[in-house]
Amino acid sequence: MVDGDAVRGADPVAAADGPGDERDPPRSPGGRAEITDASASTHAGRQPALVVTRLTKRFGERTAFSEVSFEVAHGEVFGFLGPNGAGKTTIVRTLGTLIVATSGSAVVAGIPLSPENGVEIRQRISVMPESPGLYLRLTVTENLEYFAGLYGLHKAGARIRDALEAVNLTDRAGDLCGGLSKGLRQRVGLARTLLSDPVIMFLDEPTSGLDPVAAREVHNLIGRLRQKGVTIFLTTHRLEEAEKLCDRVAILNTTLRTIGRPGDLREQLFERALVVKTVAPLTDPDALFGGVSAVDSWRPEGATSYVLAASDPGAAAPEVTRALVGAGADVLAIGEAQHSLEDVYLELVAEDVEARAR
Amino acid sequence: MTDLDATRVRPVIRKELRDYRRKRSIVVTMAVLPAIFLIQPTLSIFLVPASTASGRYLSLPLLLLLLIPVMLPSTLAAYSVVGEREQGTLEPLLTTPIRTQEFILGKGAAVMIPTLVLSYAVFGIFLAVARLFANPVVASDLFHQGPVLLTLFLFTPLLAGWAIVVGMAVSVRASEVRVAQQLGTVASIPPLGVVVLLGVGVIHPTFTVAILFAIGLLVIDLRALRIVSRMFDRERLVTGSKAGRPDRSEPHAG
């Protein structure tokens, strides 16, 4: 496992998108703030676990991903989000040395990514593909013994026991994998990734196809690994999963659309705003909200709901409340607009869809 | 074949043998095929009249036993890589530090071991039956077929090696298991031709011929093994697309 001194949730240093990268960061149509967080230096100044610089992969004419740059700090849980076909799995395969990048560079667990370094890199990482890929006629333990052997781990009994314990499968160690449910197989796959004490774990859609209970078990396991300081690169299209588990997330749709902490992304991508809900439509909202100095602009959202742009919603709320009461409006609620990671994701992906349509 | 680590080859062999044992159809096929090939040669030695017993009559049934190492491994070898791909186990496997040569060697050895055990066991049974139950004149003549027995002994691993390497080459390139197994069977025809030519006397099995052919087969097997390792394209196996070359005009990966 990663050293215990690894800094979790390290403050990302606002920097350009990778060394020497002069690309314009993604900018939304409304001129929203630039998203420039690609750095993952730790407080201790330790080398990042993963450095990806302008990495591109093309299959003939088709581009799987293009000019992708980011860094992942040691001990960080880094989420990689994107719609189907965005290039998430191809990035994992590229960083896992299964496929060769067309251009760009990467340093994985301290080793430059190249076919020559494949064995050394694979020795330091573990990858769980979307499908756990177990030998169904072998038992759980036999599957793990096999992979322990491939990692050159001798007398791996203790490691196998630890890995099974970590995924709560000790009592199923002797079961044939063919007899396990999908959720249990996924847990065996996770146990397999733990065997080699990897510097980085790549988990490709680890909860794909799992029911909510099984997915929660996987989340809990990732949470425990996070506490231990394991660096995790998690691809998912479950936004609530990324929000819950990840220190930072990147949204990919062939190109990297944004990167940062979920909270920062919300702030960077969306204007700060107050949401006002009234019992009945206001008679003259323009005059009412226009008279409040803390409100920059406003727009209706439905018949009885209004979104007020305000640089300081906390300061604006009392003023707005007074104005509403003064105008005789029956107020249902006033609060700061909350945007989920899903909003961020949909906003960015929708931009791509619109751009393609144009 | 450099930097091979036997500690990573052994788990592959162990896992494959374990997997075979647990798949009834593999066990049955492995048991039935040698038994079938044992019947005709055994009957032959009982049907040859003692007065006409000679090398000419006895070499053919002996050489027929060489069909076992040719036929037995071809389907298993053809399944070896594409089978893993179809059942979704190849990608996790390729993310481990195992090298291509180690994987190929482990897979090949796992097919070779039961093939050799069964082939030599059948030869042993055949010779034991001849010694115990055949006419003593026929049995004596049989044991005096030195070059044929040497051919049998030397060619068994080499013909099996050919069938395995070719089967794996097919498996590395095939898109699905059925295609691989059909092509693997077709690919075992050339060594069958050698067996037939020896059996019908076109190539007369002498000690010199046996040793020269064995050396030739060994060279072919080793070269073919290298070729299979080169054909093993991780990217193609995982994505179905041939590995692209990095752009040299741009800073490339690594």
Q: What is the pLDDT of residues B19-67, one digit of tens each?
A: 999 988 888 888 888 888 888 888 887 877 766 655 566 677 777 788 8
DSSP structural state of residue A102: S
For CA atoms A177, A179, A182, A183, give the dihedral sign: negative
CB contact under 8 A, B5 and A55: no
The answer, yes or no, to whether residue A9 has pLDDT greater than 70, is no
Tell me if chain A has a CB within 8 Å of the CB of B54: no
Q: How far apart are CA A107 and CA A50, in angstroms?
A: 6
Task: Give the pLDDT confidence score for residue A29 in this predicted structure.
Answer: 34
Task: Give the pLDDT confidence score for residue B52 in this predicted structure.
Answer: 63
ipTM of the complex: 0.83
Q: Who's near B145: CB < 8 A, 6+ residues apart?
A: B55, B58, B59, B62
Tell me if chain B has a CB within 8 Å of the CB of A314: no
Task: Give the pLDDT confidence score for residue A352 in this predicted structure.
Answer: 66
CB contact under 8 A, B12 and A150: yes
The more confident residue out of A40 and B114 is: B114
CB contact under 8 A, A122 and B96: yes
Task: Give the pLDDT confidence score for residue A10 in this predicted structure.
Answer: 32
CB neighbour class for A154 (10 Å; exposed up to 12, middle 13-18, buried from 19): exposed
Which residue(s) pair with A281 in the sheet? none
Q: How far is A191 from chain B (nearest CA, A)?
A: 13
**Segment 93-112 of chain B within 8 Å of chain A by CB:** 93-99
The answer, yes or no, to whether residue A43 has pLDDT greater than 70, is no
pLDDT band (50, 70, 90) for residue A75: very high
For β-strands A77-81 and A305-309, DSSP reports them as: unpaired
Task: Give the pLDDT confidence score for residue A76 in this predicted structure.
Answer: 94
**Segment 135-164 of chain A within 8 Å of chain B by CB:** 135-138, 142, 145-152, 154
Q: How far is B2 from chain A (nearest CA, A)?
A: 13
A107-111, A228-232, B182-186, B226-230: which has the highest mean pLDDT?
Answer: A107-111
Q: What is the CATH number of domain A50-268?
A: 3.40.50.300
Mean pLDDT for the stretch of residues A334-357: 72
- Look up tokens 């190109």; give the residue: A255
**Segment 104-123 of chain A within 8 Å of chain B by CB:** 104-106, 112-117, 119-120, 122-123
Task: Give the pLDDT confidence score for residue B135 in this predicted structure.
Answer: 83
Mean pLDDT for chain B overall = 83
Mean pLDDT for the stretch of residues A133-157: 94
- Look up tokens 């027995």; give the residue: B149
Q: Which residues of B touch A130 (CB under 8 A)?
A: none
Mean pLDDT for the stretch of residues A134-152: 95
Task: Give the pLDDT confidence score for residue B245 in this predicted structure.
Answer: 56
The answer, yes or no, to whether residue A99 has pLDDT greater than 90, is yes
Q: Which residues of B touch A65 (CB under 8 A)?
A: none
Q: Which residues of A touch B92 (CB under 8 A)?
A: 127-129, 132-133, 147, 189, 192
For the record, the structure tokens of A272 come out as: 């700060």
For β-strands A125-128 and A77-81, DSSP reports them as: unpaired
Low-confidence ranges of chain B (pLDDT < 70): 1-2, 50-58, 241-254
CB contact under 8 A, B91 and A129: yes
Q: Which of B11, B95, B239 sits opposite A96 (nearest CB)?
A: B95
CB contact under 8 A, B97 and A126: no
Q: Which residues of A touch B91 (CB under 8 A)?
A: 93, 98, 129, 131, 133
Tell me if chain B has a CB within 8 Å of the CB of A52: no
Task: Give the pLDDT confidence score for residue A236 in this predicted structure.
Answer: 86
Residue B243, Cβ neighbours under 10 Å: how many? Answer: 17
Host H or E run for residue A214: helix A212-228
Which one of B17, B91, B99 makes the best mutation probe of the A interface by having the most chain A beta carbons within 10 Å? B91
Q: How many CB pairs under 8 A join A and B?
A: 137
Mean pLDDT for the stretch of residues A323-332: 91
Tell me if chain A has a CB within 8 Å of the CB of B201: no
Mean pLDDT for the stretch of residues A269-289: 87
Closest chain B residue to A138, measured at CA: B19
- Which has the closest alpha carbon to A117: A126, A104, A108, A127? A108
Q: How far is B149 from chain A (nearest CA, A)?
A: 39
Task: Give the pLDDT confidence score for residue A24 in this predicted structure.
Answer: 33
DSSP structural state of residue A82: -
CB contact under 8 A, B253 and A113: yes
pLDDT per position as a tens digit, A159-215: 999 999 988 899 999 999 999 998 899 899 999 999 999 999 999 988 887 788 888
**Segment 63-92 of chain B within 8 Å of chain A by CB:** 87-92
Domain extent listing, chain A: 50-268, 271-336
The fold of the A271-336 domain, in CATH, is Alpha-Beta Plaits (3.30.70)
Q: Which residues of B touch A58 (CB under 8 A)?
A: 244
The answer, yes or no, to whether residue A33 has pLDDT greater than 50, is no
Closest chain A residue to B10, measured at CA: A149
Task: Give the pLDDT confidence score for residue B55 in this predicted structure.
Answer: 59
For β-strands A297-300 and A200-204, DSSP reports them as: unpaired
CB contact under 8 A, B252 and A133: no
Task: Give the pLDDT confidence score for residue B152 in this predicted structure.
Answer: 85
Mean pLDDT for the stretch of residues A255-263: 86
pTM for the model stands at 0.77
Mean pLDDT for the stretch of residues A73-98: 92
pLDDT band (50, 70, 90) for residue A118: very high
pLDDT band (50, 70, 90) for residue A23: very low
Which one of B10, B17, B21, B96 makes the best mutation probe of the A interface by having the most chain A beta carbons within 10 Å? B96
Tell me if chain A has a CB within 8 Å of the CB of B51: no
Q: How far is B50 from chain A (nearest CA, A)?
A: 51
CB contact under 8 A, B252 and A104: yes
CB contact under 8 A, B95 and A125: yes
